[in-house]
A and B are shown apart, each in its own frame.
Chain A
């Protein structure tokens, strides 16, 4: 084993101070077939010597060596290593040796898929990251598939400082939904979640992703409601060569597959994640008596294995006149089954149990996507159109049973919840090179998107039973007292978003007096978006008072027998209204958010090392929600919020040495209330959940952000970085708990302030950079860790009842870490990779306690995943994944001053696995 970890450091210095009788080798390294794309940081070594060089940003290299004949090795992570044999160097002479390198993705893609390598390979993205003035991180499709991420949320969890909640929502540097933005190809994405600004990120499968770009510092072309992360999902696009891939796969989970599974009779298209109308409100619901086909009977079966299939076809056509037309069409569909147990427990400040339900949840979920894109290039002009349809459905049967302190009997509840979330996105974007040398660049984009979230026919019944009787002997009675809790519920959300952007960039390059080249650019742009949201729900309740006259005992597995059409008619004749609509006039609400902004940005290469990038964004917004007053008859209420902000940002980047980069960034940004947060009506999103009411006096918050990042590139393809960040949030919008006559009431308020500070570390290591050992050199290692402090102070308010006025930000784990170890093997030009991925997040605030009850914290979770990807032939590749191998206990505890913290929920996810085959039909 030959370790040469220090070899390349200072090689350039060595080259420039070489003896005069030496020979000089210089040249340019570019990407194969693309002379305009230099390969920066490529590694050039004369075999058998310690002489080498690296290329600069323009792909240029120069090295000095003793005269002789050498084999010259060109290598760089993400590219195929090439050796040029018998290159002769003559004393005192300069030899030019240019080289084209092939991106590895052309070789090590999914089944020899040749794609636009620059946005997919980790190495190329690392260069993009290094070159950027902003502090950003990329995760290309190669890294996503190597680390086994199957949706965007899973992928983002691998990025330093990011954690996920409920596998859907991201927390970036301790900051939740409000502080993050989601873009798709640079244009906004609507939300499918009535409570959130961001869409549920598990909606987007990684099969549509070319690159995930996370920007953690503000620059003026980003929307200003930002302090955590800006997530740009770049979708896959055309390929230089024809691709036609079909994939098939199946999945299992150790606590689900083959085990007992409870469901019910659904619709014919459930498998596709589309309700065929089975769950619509029937016409008979508008009549008297109100009647629904009951469909309450559970169906018990064994959970099958999950299935998925996908296909993708893409190509590029170059016409005779040189125009390029590229296209991509891909579709995927995934069906999965899940089981989760757990508890719903409530303890008071005395640690007395108020509620103790054991819970079983059986979930069938689907996830589908259709992505189509077309690109057209003609000279300096480029147009692209992207269409994305993503649909996710979940169909859950939840059963809870246990004790409620206020009931003499135990309580059994069965609930069926079907939810369908989908987004439809249309984007047309273009860029045009103008002026001489195309130094004027015009970029524009238009987007029209729709998000729909439907929860049709949630059905629930609550029963009473004697918990002292064994399960086999148990009998149930209807719970007539809680009329509202025996119900059918329908809700619908629709969000439409139109967005546009246009910017003009003027770039100039000129030589300074000292003959160094100076690059300067101005960008001026406009952006606007108009987002409108409609939400409504309807609820039909069963009045079972008097029902016991007919049925003293309830057969919980055959409820349909009690609710036939003739029964409803009979009850109606008897003057007994079994079912009626319980309406809330405030259920309908219309919200709108309009943002218009103008920005200017100035960039200048001050000297060889230092770049200045400063800008200003002027952002004006109008936000409103209109609804009927919940209590007062006929009163229409609205709450408009107008704001105008000037948001400056400054980014400085300095290449301190050839291997180290320092980036400094500062900015002022804002945060806005979410739609419902400014609407003073009460609603309960989740059954028996906490009531929530908006606060009409909320204002925008203002955020001050500072970042300093130090990056070291010790070897090519390796990186070490450390980032310090600090944020001061003025008037941040925080959850507060209001004192209330009964139950729990959550609201929102502008807190005094919040402070976020921390450090992020990243480490990327290619073992081949320090060893030539035939086994060890095939390893790659990436790791990141973040440590942060978050604290918010709630303003005093007479109506507040939360136990603690100072607390960490909700969902913020002080410590986060990821580590991934990959083994790459190429046999007969067929690559195989094996990756172990580890993720940990530390204890995080889960729920805020009220009236002396302690806050709830989710305990640290360690996750270990394994991914194997292998090409069996040029036409066939396979993948195998094992997720959650450690299968840890997920625990939520409630803090008690005695230190005896009761566990309010705990469960295990089980180990999941999947197996997939990809066929390359091209």
Chain B
């Protein structure tokens, strides 16, 4: 078997300009496949991180092109660290965790980890966001290729652990590379449920905010703000659990609050997308085309969604499409219950089963922005699964307990 020859001379020459050489954590050109170069006061990192490496909070960091955390390596990012995309970089910047690699990005409410654009005037689509590739099952074959050459994902280990992502904010990501080829804020590709993901925000991306491609990873406390395509998106057999999700669309662009698919090529491929979600607040906006929809459940997805508020979407609140998906709804494999769809163009579209469910309503939830909950008809999520925290109310953010405060931006 042939191997690609990678001409490492560029790496080697780049290293001569290294100014910060203290400690053993700096890359060794003989053994390492990544470089760190100080440039304009920022540590510019590029290549494949092939061993454990730490990004210190006391330095500024720049991602130059696609930066990969290799199989077997762990990239640790200290709380409070800010990482920017390279200004006018020749390659699209992103951080991709390969299968078998780990990202330990454990921030805190007071000291979140921030990934943002390095451009003079930051704008949506400046870079490619965070991609995590795991070894959990997907329904597009045994493994698949991520968008934009960000790596291979999928496998057989639904308990796979890709690390911890907590209190992490990704801004101005969602780079479009071509038709059907775009990067998101966070892309969770075949990620297993041994991974911990909590308190993340995708802010003003050009594509989807947070997207799941298969896998079983769970997500608690997530905010998707002002993303120009879908705020949350799942497809290809995602079966995780989710709680406390906020969609906050802005007038600058947006499509669906949640776009939920099983598989567009074949709506019946297995494993079937089938997450359980509780305590969601989806607040829409009109970006001018009057087309934004709150929750579009289609292409054969199953799901159980409780305690959700869907409001202010100019087109539809909740819509079900495609025969296979409709059949799931009829058979009880696709459920939206104990939820409110109110003040939308059409609150319930092609989903009479949901509309007629007595636990659902279209009563104005009277939110303050996305903050506020409704007590009536709520289910106690702790009765569903041990994953879920207490939250016997409809909505994601209680006025008395704004968990988004401090570490997210509006």
Which residues does A use to contact B, with CB under 8 Å? Answer: 348-350, 352, 354, 408-409, 481-485, 545, 548, 575, 583, 585, 629-641, 680-682, 684, 687-688, 691, 693, 696-697, 699, 738-745, 798-801, 850-853
Cα–Cα distance between A631 and B253 once the two chains are bound (Å): 28
B residues 129-175 in Cβ contact with A at 8 Å: 138, 140-150, 152, 154
**How close is B50's CB to chain A, nearest CB, in angstroms?**
12
Cα–Cα distance between A585 and B143 once the two chains are bound (Å): 27
Is B81 an interface position by the 8 A CB rule?
no
Which residues of chain B are near A583, meaning CB under 8 Å?
90
For A575, A742, A851, the residue with the greatest tally of chain B CB atoms inside 10 Å of its CB is: A742
In the complex the two chains form, is A632's CB within 8 Å of B66's CB?
A: yes
In the complex the two chains form, is B213's CB within 8 Å of A632's CB?
A: no
In the complex the two chains form, is A798's CB within 8 Å of B265's CB?
A: no
- Contact pick for B228, options A354, A481, A640, A699, CB 8 Å: A481
In the complex the two chains form, is B142's CB within 8 Å of A798's CB?
A: yes
How many A-B residue contacts, CB cutoff 8 Å?
185
Cα–Cα distance between A641 and B2 once the two chains are bound (Å): 8
**How close is B377's CB to chain A, nearest CB, in angstroms?**
31
- Contact pick for B264, options A348, A682, A691, CB 8 Å: A348
Is B222 an interface position by the 8 A CB rule?
no
Cα–Cα distance between A571 and B145 once the two chains are bound (Å): 39
In the complex the two chains form, is B322's CB within 8 Å of A350's CB?
A: yes
In the complex the two chains form, is B91's CB within 8 Å of A633's CB?
A: yes
- Contact pick for A851, options B92, B148, B265, B289, CB 8 Å: B265
- Contact pick for A632, options B48, B125, B229, B289, CB 8 Å: B48
Which residues of chain A are near B6, meaning CB under 8 Å?
629, 635-637
Cα–Cα distance between A745 and B181 once the two chains are bound (Å): 10
Contact with A along B375-392 (1 / 0, CB 8 A): 000000000000000000
Which residues of chain A are near B265, meaning CB under 8 Å?
348-349, 850-853
In the complex the two chains form, is B4's CB within 8 Å of A634's CB?
A: no
Residue of A nearest to B5 (CB): A638
**How close is A605's CB to chain B, nearest CB, in angstroms?**
46
**How close is A734's CB to chain B, nearest CB, in angstroms?**
17
In the complex the two chains form, is A630's CB within 8 Å of B144's CB?
A: no
In the complex the two chains form, is B179's CB within 8 Å of A851's CB?
A: no
Residue of A nearest to B64 (CB): A633
In the complex the two chains form, is B213's CB within 8 Å of A697's CB?
A: no
Which residues of chain A are near B46, meaning CB under 8 Å?
632-634
B residues 257-288 in Cβ contact with A at 8 Å: 263-269, 288
For A481, A633, A696, A745, the residue with the greatest tally of chain B CB atoms inside 10 Å of its CB is: A633
Residue of B nearest to A624 (CB): B5
In the complex the two chains form, is A352's CB within 8 Å of B322's CB?
A: yes
Cα–Cα distance between A741 and B96 once the two chains are bound (Å): 14
**How close is B160's CB to chain A, nearest CB, in angstroms?**
15
**How close is A639's CB to chain B, nearest CB, in angstroms?**
6
Residue of A nearest to B263 (CB): A851
Cα–Cα distance between A632 and B98 once the two chains are bound (Å): 14
Cα–Cα distance between A633 and B39 once the two chains are bound (Å): 15
Given contacts A633-B46, A851-B269, A852-B269, contact A484 B140 (CB under 8 A): no
Residue of A nearest to B183 (CB): A741
Which 4 A-B pairs rank lowest in CB-CB distance, beginning with the nearest? A743-B180, A631-B66, A633-B65, A739-B141
Which residues of chain A are near B10, meaning CB under 8 Å?
634-636
Cα–Cα distance between A799 and B144 once the two chains are bound (Å): 5
Given contacts A801-B144, A850-B265, contact A485 B1 (CB under 8 A): no
In the complex the two chains form, is A408's CB within 8 Å of B266's CB?
A: no
In the complex the two chains form, is B4's CB within 8 Å of A636's CB?
A: no
**How close is B186's CB to chain A, nearest CB, in angstroms?**
13
- Contact pick for A740, options B7, B125, B144, CB 8 Å: B144
Residue of A nearest to B86 (CB): A633
Cα–Cα distance between A191 and B180 once the two chains are bound (Å): 30
Cα–Cα distance between A352 and B150 once the two chains are bound (Å): 30
For A634, A636, A743, the residue with the greatest tally of chain B CB atoms inside 10 Å of its CB is: A634
**How close is A405's CB to chain B, nearest CB, in angstroms?**
8
Which residues of chain A are near B142, meaning CB under 8 Å?
739, 798-799
Is B358 an interface position by the 8 A CB rule?
no
Is B25 an interface position by the 8 A CB rule?
no
Which residues of chain B are near A740, meaning CB under 8 Å?
140, 144-147
Which residues of chain B are near A852, meaning CB under 8 Å?
265-266, 268-269
For B143, B176, B178, the residue with the greatest tally of chain A CB atoms inside 10 Å of its CB is: B178
